[in-house]
Amino acid sequence: MTAERVASWTHPVASFWAGGDLSFVEQMVIRSYVEQGCDFTLYVPQPVGGIPAGTTVRDAAAIMPVPAAIAPGPDPDPDRKALAVWSDLFRVRLLSQRAVIWVDLDAYCLRPYAAPEGHLFGRDDADGVLTGVMALPPESPALALMREMLAGDEVEPPWRDENWIRQRRKKGRLSPFDLPWGDTGPRLLTHALRETGGMRHASPHDVFYPLFRNSLRALWRPGVADDRIARPGALSVHIFGYTKRYLATFHDGLPPDGSWLARRAAAHGIDPARAPARGEPLEPRPTAGTPARPPA
């Protein structure tokens, strides 16, 4: 996809949420789509609070039942890793059944997305692709390969060496929920696109991921100008889960006054104090002045 401005959406947009009530981050992300005339559907496995008006809410079980690996219990927020894998599996199932654009609930929309041929995804800052904004036609060979690799109880990632796979198999740790972070998401998509020739459809990384790793600090630093974040050609700003963890650890879940996050929340009429960001605490603040390297 090119970065030209498009007048309207070519596809409906869909996402998935299996945690507790939405924080101000998820709320403002959804509003960034709905307020631009997007047909936005959120799939949830249980009732969730804080969903903005204008959102179509549907039962996630209509697409995919709760995986057996997700243990039921009183905690409304599953383990971060388990939730990420569940989302990865759900995304593949959804895109196989519906012609939609998938977005993570930390993919803030700047303007409508166009996927006239059904392909939409962006490169990371290296040689792979990410899954935060993603569309593939239901008949896509890459999507078929992903379904095939995830169909069994065990997954043998081709990008892992044989000894690694053999040791994992001995320990019974080759289920999708046992694999390293990202193996069922960006690494799987990157592999499938390379194997099927689909990488030619990838957008440059600054279209959907203009901030990455240590540059994410621009989101919460007061006074950073919008054009340093929403750069020319960008269609989305990916906030990444690390940002929520940083806010939860060092700012009580709230965006600092004057930051891009605070300005965007205000623009959508959202009071972050009523829905602070939550996340697994980070290690103590590094003395060097820069946060720990956020995960991709």
Average pLDDT over every residue of 65-77: 69
pLDDT of residue 3: 39
How does pLDDT run across 218-232, given as a tens digit for each residue? 999 999 999 999 888
pLDDT of residue 1: 40
pLDDT of residue 287: 52
pLDDT of residue 285: 55
- pLDDT-derived band of residue 277, with 50, 70 and 90 as boundaries? very high
pLDDT of residue 214: 86
pLDDT above 80 (res 295): no
pLDDT above 60 (res 288): no
Q: Average per-residue pLDDT in the chain?
A: 91
pLDDT of residue 77: 52
Question: Bigger pLDDT: 16 or 292?
Answer: 16
Question: What pTM value is reported for the model?
Answer: 0.91
Helix-helix angle 260-267:24-34, to 10 degrees = 60
Here the tokens at position 92 are 């593949």
pLDDT above 90 (res 173): yes
Question: Bigger pLDDT: 48 or 292?
Answer: 48
Question: Bigger pLDDT: 259 or 288?
Answer: 259
Average pLDDT over every residue of 136-146: 97
